[in-house]
Structure 1
Amino acid sequence: MDRSVRTVDDVLRLLDGLFPPQADRWDAFYGDRSRQVPFFVAKPDENLVSYLERGLITTGRVLDLGCGPGRNAVHLARHGFEVDAVDLSPTALAWAEDRAQEAGVEVRFRRADIVDAEFTGRYDLVYDSGCFHHLPPHRRVSYRALLDRVLAPGGLFGLACFAAGEMGSELPDAELYREGSLRGGLAYTPEELRWIFADLTELELRRMHDEPAESPCFGERFLWTALFRASSSHPHVDDHG
C-alpha cells in the first residue's frame, strides 16, 4: 500500500515536500563571511536594543529562532540573558559560536528545524529575526504551536519579518503551493500578523528603523518589528504542530 498520510503531522510533512529543502540553501548563503551584507555584520536589531533600553525586556531565558550567525543571541547574552539559539545551517552556527567566543559570552547554539524541535522548559522571551517569513504557510500552524509550548506565562515574543509592499512575496497562500516556491520569503501586512498571533497581546508593531552604516544597530525599513505578550495563564492553542 502506497499511503503516507494518517495524522496531521503526516499532512504537514507531505506539504513540506512541495517546497525545496532549506538547509543547503542557508549553508550556501552563510558560506562567505566576507560578503557585504548588512545582516552579516555583528550588530543587534535596533528594535531589540530599544526593548532593552526601555525596559520592555529584562533578564531571563531567551530562545532565538533562526539565529543565523548570532547577531542578536550574542547581544542578549552580553546583557545577562540565558540564551538558547537554533538554526538549520551548521555554517551559520559555526560563525555564531565564533562570535560568542570572541565576545566572551555563553550561548547554547543548536542545529534544529524549529517546526519539530523539542525544547526544555519555558522562555521569558522568544525572538525571531528573519525566520518566520521563510516558513511555508502550513508551518504557521507549527510555529504557533511552538510558541504555545515554549513561552512562559506573560512571556514576550519579538519578531522581525518582511513587510508587504517592500520585500518578499505577497502571493496568496494557495498560489505558493501551485508554484512550489516561497519566492525568497513571504511578506506580511500588520493585519495579517495580528490575525496569525491573535492569541497574544500586541505591545508594539512598527517598521524597523533604517539605520546608517555607522550605527551600532542593524535596521532596514523593509521589515516589520513586533513585540507581543502571552497571557499570564497562557492557555493552550488548539492547533497541531
Structure 2
Amino acid sequence: MDRNIRSVDDVLKLMDSLFAPGADRWTGGAGTWWDGFYADRSKPVPFFVAKPDESLVSYLDRGLVAPGRALDLGCGPGRNALHLASRGFEVDAVDLSPGAIAWAGERAHEAGADIRFHCGDAFAEDAPAGPYDLVHDSGCFHHLPPHRRVSYLAFVDRVLAPGGHLSLSCFASGAMGSELPDADFYREAGLQGGLAYTPESLRWIFSELTEVELRRMRDEPADSPCFGEEFLWTALFRKAR
C-alpha cells in the first residue's frame, strides 16, 4: 500500500506519472526522447537552424529589453543563447536533453561565446537560480502538461528579477498544437505533441505579469538571419519592480 503524498510537489510528481513515458512525459523519459530527437542533426527541423527568434531580435533592437543576466529556458541547440551572448548578456542555458546541450556547447565553442550550460530539469533545486533580467522560452512552455504550469509560474516568479522580462514563444491555437481541454490530456495520457494556446489563455495564465507585446511570430524566409514561424505566438511580459 502506497501513501506517498504529503506535499504539493508529491501531487505534481504523481500527475507526471499519469503520462506515458517518452515525448509526453515531463520527467524521466522526456530527456531520453529529446536525445533521440536531436540525434540526427541533418533533419529538416525548423528550430535546428543556427538563428535567433525574430521576436527576441526585435525586442533587443527596439530597446524593450536591455542587456543583463539571461536564462535560455529549454535552449535546444543554443541558437537564442548564442544571440543573447553576442548582444552583451551574461547567459545561462538549460535543457533536459544531454544531446541538445552537447550541440549547443559545440556551437558556443565555435563562436567563442561564454555561456553556462546546465543539463537537467529547470524546476529542480540544482537548476540555475537567477535572478535574471530576461528569461527566454522558445518552445518549452507548450510541451508542459497542464499541472506543470504551476511549477512554471513559480519558477518565473522565483528567478525573474523585479522589472525583468519573460519572452515566450508557443503554439498558436488554430495553427499548431492540441486544443483539447486540460482535463482530456489526463484521460488521453499524453500531450498530443504539445498544447495550443489562445492570446486570452496566455494573458490569463500570466496575469501577474504586465503584457508588453503579444503577437504572431513573423514568418521568416530561408535566407533571413532570424528564425520565424507563423504557427507560434510570441509574447513579452514584464515583472513588477
Q: Which of the five TM-score ranges fits, normalised by the shorter chain?
A: over 0.9
Question: 1:115 offset after TM fit, Å?
Answer: 2.7
Pairing 1:223–2:223 present: no
Match of 2:175 among 152, 166, 170: 166
Question: 1:146 offset after TM fit, Å?
Answer: 0.2
Pairing 1:213–2:222 present: yes
Question: Structure 1 CA distance, aligned partners of 2:207 and 2:179?
Answer: 21
Partner residue in 2 for 1:45 = 53
Pairing 1:107–2:118 present: no
Pairing 1:202–2:184 present: no
Identity %: 71
- Greater mean alpha carbon deviation, residues 47-56 or residues 17-26: 17-26
List alignment gaps of at least 5 residues for structure 1: 233-241
Partner residue in 2 for 1:15 = 15
Pairing 1:66–2:98 present: no
Pairing 1:93–2:85 present: no
Partner residue in 1 for 2:62 = 54
Pairing 1:157–2:166 present: yes
CA RMSD of aligned residues (A): 0.9
Three-state SS of the structure 2 residue aligned to 1:110 is strand
Residues 120 and 174 of structure 1, relative CA distance in 2, 3 Å threshold: closer
Partner residue in 2 for 1:36 = 44
Question: Structure 2 CA distance, aligned partners of 1:18 and 1:85?
Answer: 28
Question: Structure 1 CA distance, aligned partners of 2:175 and 2:130?
Answer: 37
Match of 1:142 among 148, 151, 154: 151
TM-score by length of 1: 0.94
Three-state SS of the structure 2 residue aligned to 1:152 is strand
TM-score by length of 2: 0.94
Determine if contact 1:115/1:139 at 8 Å carries over to the other structure: no
Question: 1:24 offset after TM fit, Å?
Answer: 1.3
Question: Structure 2 CA distance, aligned partners of 1:43 and 1:2?
Answer: 48
Aligned residue identity for 1:2: D
Aligned residue identity for 1:134: H
Question: 1:32 offset after TM fit, Å?
Answer: 0.7
Determine if contact 2:92/2:128 at 8 Å carries over to the other structure: no
- Greater mean alpha carbon deviation, residues 5-14 or residues 109-118: 109-118
Question: 1:120 offset after TM fit, Å?
Answer: 3.3
Aligned residue identity for 2:53: D
Three-state SS of the structure 2 residue aligned to 1:198 is coil
- Greater mean alpha carbon deviation, residues 13-22 or residues 108-117: 108-117
Question: Structure 2 CA distance, aligned partners of 1:38 and 1:198?
Answer: 30
Determine if contact 1:64/1:85 at 8 Å carries over to the other structure: yes
Partner residue in 2 for 1:239 = none
User: What do the CA deviations read for 1:42-84 (whole angstroms, capped 9, x no partner)?
Assistant: 0000000101110111110001110000000011001110000
Determine if contact 1:122/1:150 at 8 Å carries over to the other structure: yes
Question: 1:130 offset after TM fit, Å?
Answer: 0.2
List alignment gaps of at least 5 residues for structure 2: 22-28
- The alignment of Structure 1 onto Structure 2 pairs a total of residues equal to 232
